[in-house]
Every structure is written in C-alpha cells, then in structure tokens.
Structure 1
Amino acid sequence: MDDDSPQARWERRTEMLLAVASLVFLASYAVLVLGQGLAASWRDACVTAMLGAWAIFAIDYAARWRLSGQGPRFVRTHLVDTLVLALPLLRPLRVVRLYEAVLRRRGEPRLTLQARVISYAGLSALLLGFSGALAVYQQERAAPGASIRTFGDAVWWACATLATVGYGDVVPVTPWGRTIAVGMMACGLALLGAVTGSFSSWLLQVFSREGDERPPGS
C-alpha cells in the first residue's frame, strides 16, 4: 500500500515539477557554458532560470523537512536530497525519479528491483557525466597549462572518470576542477558497485530458479 502521510502526498504532487526544474537547470547551465559569445540578455535568462530551479528545490526541501516532523534528524536521513540542494552538479539527478513517477501515474507495473537499480544507475551516470563535463570544461578551458580545452575533451575525461579507468591523457589542473573530479570518482565507484551488486543478485536468482525447476536426481 502506498504511503499516505503528508510528506508522501507532497512528494507525489511535486515530483513532476522537480523533474522539470532539473531539466531546466541542466539546459540553462549547458547553454551558459557552451554558448560562446552569448548575448548578455541570454546569459541573464540562463542564470535566472538556474536560480529559479534552485529556489524550487529549496522550497521542496523545506516543505518536506517540516512535514516529516523529524527536526534536524531530517538532514541525516535525507543526505542525498541535502547534497542535491547544496551541490549544483547533482541537481539533474532529480530527473531519475521521473520514469517511475510516470509509470505510477499510468498505473503500469514497475520494473524489478534489479532492473530499476541498473536503469537508474545508467541514467544517473549519463546525467552526472554530462553535468561533470560541463562543470570541468567551465573551470578548465581558460586555465594555464590545462589539457581540457574543448567540451569533447571534457566529455572524454568524464567518461573515463566515471568508469574508474582514468587514462590520464586529460586531467583537471584547477582546484575546483580537481574537486569536481573527486566527486565524480566517488559517484563512479558508487554507481559501479550498485550495478555490479544488482546484476550479481539477478544472476543468483536466475540460477536458484533453474535449480528449483530441475527434476530430482537430474
């Protein structure tokens, strides 16, 4: 049975809005970073859209904090939401919940737990990779001695970092670039662990099911 608490009802009502706000934030940030020679009016519009999206996240966070009745303990029990609010790089991850929200509204069956983890991890990796590439490109493109000079270089670096390969052919040299790199490495390890664990669990279930269906003595 679905949770019918005030906090759960609020989350169901706002999940689509938060997903749209995440897309607006990511699109505005991408235009701001990649739009070389962008007119001042467009840059202002992008900054305004990003601030508006952050305001929506902040209002949602404050409302859920109040409805939870947990007080300061809410921060500890909702670390991901706290990080999404505090770190711009993670805000596009709100889009990950959009797929399940659409299925729930249509009354369609959800995926199995393993399939959901793998699909969510894949989408999270895609969003994190794109956001991380944008952030590193913004910090590195004009830095002295930087090896990440184009957005293509930044995308290649983000893929290698999230995959925990780390070729080392292009690396960030600025303090903020390296800070972003540390976060990307941690996210890459977490996503890889989630996918590996879920895939292993699925294989164990398949083999166990085959063992149960095998005739005795075979």
Structure 2
Amino acid sequence: MSNRPAGAAAPEQTRWEQRTEVPLFLASVVFLLGYAVRVLAPHDTGPWPDIGLTLVCSTWLLFVVDYLVRLRQSGLGARFVRVHWLDTLVLALPLLRPLRVIRIYTAVQNRRDRPRLNLYARVMSYAGLSAVLLGFAAALAVYHQEHTAAGATILTFGDAAWWACETLTTVGYGDVSPVTPGGRVIAAMLMACGLGLLGAVTGSFSSWLLQVFTREDEKGPSGSR
C-alpha cells in the first residue's frame, strides 16, 4: 500500500503531467477550433462540419488516454475519480479544460520554498488565456443552444461573444441573456468558472506583490547602513 498523502501524485504521474502539460493545452485549443467549426459552419458547406467533428473526437480521445494513464500511474484505483474530481469533470465536459489552470495555481500556493516570480507570471498568463478560451467555449455553446430558440436574444455568434464577456467580467448589462434551460446552465457554469479564474489571477498577483514588498523591506535596513 502506498504511503503517499491523500491527493499526492506518484513520481511517474508527476513526470507524465510535466511532459504532457503543453501538448494537452494545445490539444484543448484544437478541440475548441473543431467545436467552433462544427457549430459555426453551415451544414451545407461541404466537408467542414465533418472536419470539425473529427477534430473534436480525436482530441477528446487524447484526453481519455491522458486520464487513463494518470489513473494507472496514481495507484489510487477508483479513488482517483474522487481525489481528482476536477480532471474527471473536465473529461466529461471537455469545454471546461481551461479550468485545469486551477491545478497550476494550487501547485504554486503549496510550494514550500520561496515562490519564483516566473512561476507566478506563468499562473497569471495561463489564467488569463484560460479565461479567453473558456469565454470562447461558452459563447460557442450558448450560441448553439440559443440562436434557434423562440424568444432568444442571442441570435448571432457576436451576441454570444458579447454575452460571454459580460458574464466573465461580472458586468451583466442584461441586454442579451439565455432563455433556454441549456443556455442557463452554461451561464451558471461560466459565472462560477469566471470567478475561479479571476481569483487565480488576483491571488497570484497579490502574492507576487507581497513577495516584492517583503524583499524591499528586507533590503531596507541593510541599504540604510
């Protein structure tokens, strides 16, 4: 039986995650592009809808392989699903893959040595990019749900993108909003995810500022002598 603390990754799993972090992030972008083609391309535009479906299915299979490899390497068995609930959710709903930035943020917060500036910058850039990708994914999903619904105010992808910007930034003008049950579920998820990503950015930025101020305070007395 493993003596690792609950939730601690096995060395093999850690190495795998380090090697696959960037490729899987790029696969997430390809998944979104395929989904965008599938949603936005008219169904009478030749092979484009089929190409979009191929990209979506092939990248999702990569996510499944990654999940199964980490499950086997973790040694947790069925407990992996509960311990790594975010990864399980992302596998079931691939449009939420930008949320995996939370794992990076958690790794920064749990570091026992002094955090490095470039690590904080990495979290902030990942969170910012993830917010953009998540907003784009939500705009696609809500447009897919809404544009043909009776009484819908989101009729074009431009309307959906504007709505996603309003929701992510918590402005909420209310000029466009989902009317279908599916659209409202997407809206609720985007609100929660947007708060999480904003928290990752502001938390990392605040931690970096505190680190800078602490270093300045440490330099102060010695510099005044």
TM-score for both structures, normalised by structure 1:
0.82
- Report the Cα distance in structure 2 between the residues aligned to 1:38 and 1:192, rounded to whole angstroms: 40
Question: In the alignment, which residue of structure 2 is the partner of 1:102?
Answer: none
Q: 1:14 to 1:192 in 2, by over 3 A?
A: closer
> Hey, what does 1:207 align to over in structure 2?
213
Residue 186 of structure 1 pairs with residue 173 of structure 2? no
Q: Deviations over 1:164-193 (max 9, x none)?
A: 121111100011100000110001111112
Q: Which residue of 2 aligns with 1:48?
A: 54
Is residue 166 of structure 2 the alignment partner of residue 163 of structure 1?
Answer: no
The letter for the 2-side match of 1:161 is T
Identify the range of structure 1 (44-53 vs 54-63) with the bigger mean alpha-carbon deviation. Answer: 44-53
1:39 aligned residue (24, 45, 48): 45
Asked whether the equivalents of residues 99 and 197 of structure 2 are also in contact (C-alpha less than 8 Å), the reply is no
Q: Tell me which moved more, 52-61 or 177-186.
A: 52-61
Which letter does structure 2 place at the counterpart of 1:28?
A: G
Amino acid at match of 1:133: A
Gaps in structure 2 of 5+ consecutive residues? 1-8, 104-115
Residue in structure 2 matched with residue 8 of structure 1 by the alignment: 14
Structure 1 residue 114 corresponds to structure 2 residue 114? no
Moved more, 189-198 or 203-212: 203-212
**Partner Cα separation in structure 2 for residue 210 and residue 77 of structure 1:** 40
SS in 1 for 2:47: helix
CA distance in 1 between partners of 2:22 and 2:214 (Å): 38
CA 1:10/1:56 → structure 2, altered by over 3 Å: closer, same or farther? same
- In the alignment, what sits opposite 2:79? 73
The count of corresponding residues between Structure 1 and Structure 2 is: 204
Given residue 127 of structure 1, which amino acid in structure 2 is its aligned partner? L
Task: Tell me if structure 1 keeps the 8 A contact 2:99–2:193.
Answer: no
Q: What SS does the aligned partner of 2:32 have?
A: helix
Structure 2 contact 13–70 (Cα < 8 Å) conserved: yes
- Asked whether the 8 Å contact 2:38–2:50 carries over to 1, the reply is no
Among all aligned residue pairs of Structure 1 and Structure 2, give the percentage whose two residues are the same amino acid: 65
Distance 2:175 2:73 in 1: 49
Deviates more, 1:162-171 or 1:83-92: 83-92
Asked if 1 retains the 8 angstrom alpha-carbon contact of 2:117 and 2:208, the reply is no
Distance 1:200 1:61, change over 3 A: same
For residues 15-72 of structure 1, give each alpha carbon's deviation from its aligned partner in whole angstroms, at most 9, with x where no partner exists.
4543343232111111111112443533223212211211121122112101111112
- Separation (CA, whole Å) in 2 of partners of 1:40 and 1:147: 29
Aligned-CA RMSD value: 2.7
Structure with larger RCO (C-alpha < 8 A, sep 6+): 1
> C-alpha deviations, 1:77-124, integer Å up to 9, x for none?
222211210113213667999xxxxxxxxxxxx853321221111011
